[in-house]
Amino acid sequence: MLRNFTSTMISAPKRVPIPKNGVDYRGKVVLAPMVRSGELPSRLLALKYGADLVWGPETIDRSMIGTTKRFNSITSAIEYTRLPSNSSRPQPPDQKESVIYRLHPVREYGKLIFQIGTSSPATAVEAAKLVAEHVAGIDVNAGCPKPFSTIGGMGAALLQEPDRLASILTALVKEVGEVYEIGISVKIRLLETAGKTEALVRKLCSTGITGLTVHCRTTPMRPRERAIREQLNMIADLCREAGVACLMNGDVKNRDEALQLVQEYGVDGAMIATAAEANSSCFRTQAEGGLLPWKVVVTEYMKIALEVGNKWGNTKFMLGQLMPGKAEIFRKVVGCRGYRQTCEVLELYDLVDSARELDERLGIDEQKETKAMKKGSHNNKSARAAGGDMSSQRNFEKTKRSPFSERGVGTGVSMPAMAV
């Protein structure tokens, strides 16, 4: 009996211990980190429809350092804010603070992974400590190919400096993961050859991380190019050997397909990006009814956006992703200047009062904005011809046709963070 028990123990797969406040990525279908499309309302919507975990948008470490944490009693959200620092001019005394990051400590409890953009162990640790007590894990973005990330040595630039990346992960594991008892993970892209990818994965898995996500594209590849999955089996085997959970990302359309791919390639879970940006109910299985009509999803999104007081610009952008561009009502929503107008256009009359209150809190004056837009359209024809009139239907539809979701590993910087 002892011999059989020992044999069983020896053959059991190795697993890096999951910290008390962390989460095991195995068996999970999750929302990928996405610029603009990964803000609080989108994450809550994905959780409502069955996402097991949600990644927030990549947030640069230096934009978090120096923020003030506050609890918003109206929305029950925790907000990290700071005054704009992108100008050398003196700020007016009534200057409003920018919200760098928001999370819901109850509705996202045990489900939220904070993704950080960094190129330094020291600043990564300093920023991660600010949110560590409220999240289930810290994920390092090591795959974004966009210049705003790589020019600072972050994102995909870290793939060319594996020692630096490993040092960042090691520092986070020791100084954040072990202290706050949460998991540390990393998201990468494929390298030029399978051999280079293998060497990188081996190095990263030795740092003490609990999870690794691979976006199945190389750095130069764009989202429209088919994901490369030929190396997945190898990567999954390496992670399994080290006891690290392995997630895949790239061209995953829904939960059913995600579970199928998990079985086919031997990975532990999958991320959904673009499909979730277009319809968050993609996290439902066919047995649960599959995709819901866009009107149902939009209604739920608007309810959540109102509940958490989402910034109007982000809500309008998301409506452009969730609504079909050819729908007649889409053209009407394009012309809306605030929540009240939008709810009336969408015939969400039970939400109009809440929408009016939020417009007031956000300082949205629909009539003033409409007049300003009209004046701008008369006085700035050159800007309009160059695409500067972002209120026009043509430009709004162009934005819709070019979603931000998978630009750079399906990850991106939150808009406030880019402004810092």
CB 241 within 8 A of CB 230: no
Using only C-alpha atoms, the chain has a radius of gyration, in whole angstroms, of 22
Choose between 281 and 96: higher pLDDT: 281
**How do residues 341-370 score in pLDDT, each as one tens digit?**
999 999 999 999 999 999 999 999 866 554
Measure the CA–CA gap between 25 and 4, rounded to whole angstroms: 30
Inter-helix orientation angle 40-48/312-322, to 10°: 40
Q: Tell me the pTM.
A: 0.85
Residue 239 a catalytic site member = no
Strand partners, 269: 247
What's the pLDDT at 94? 62
Q: Which stretch of 29-38, 89-98, 192-201 has the lowest confidence by average pLDDT?
A: 89-98
Average confidence (pLDDT) over 115-120: 98
CB 304 within 8 A of CB 357: no
What's the pLDDT at 12? 61
Measure the CA–CA gap between 281 and 291, rounded to whole angstroms: 5
Say yes or no to pLDDT of 164 above 70.
yes
Q: What is the DSSP string of 334-360?
A: HT--SHHHHHHHTT-GGGHHHHHHHHH
Q: Where are the beta strands (DSSP E) in 53-136?
A: 53-55, 59-60, 68-72, 77-82, 98-103, 112-117
Average confidence (pLDDT) over 221-240: 95
Domains of the chain: 9-273+405-419 (3.20.20.70), 294-401 (no CATH)
CB 258 within 8 A of CB 282: no
Choose between 220 and 413: higher pLDDT: 220
- pLDDT-derived band at 145 (thresholds 50, 70, 90) equals confident
Q: Which residue has the tokens 């293998």?
A: 198
Cβ neighbors of 250 (< 8 A, separation 6 or more) are 215, 216, 217, 227, 228, 229, 406, 410
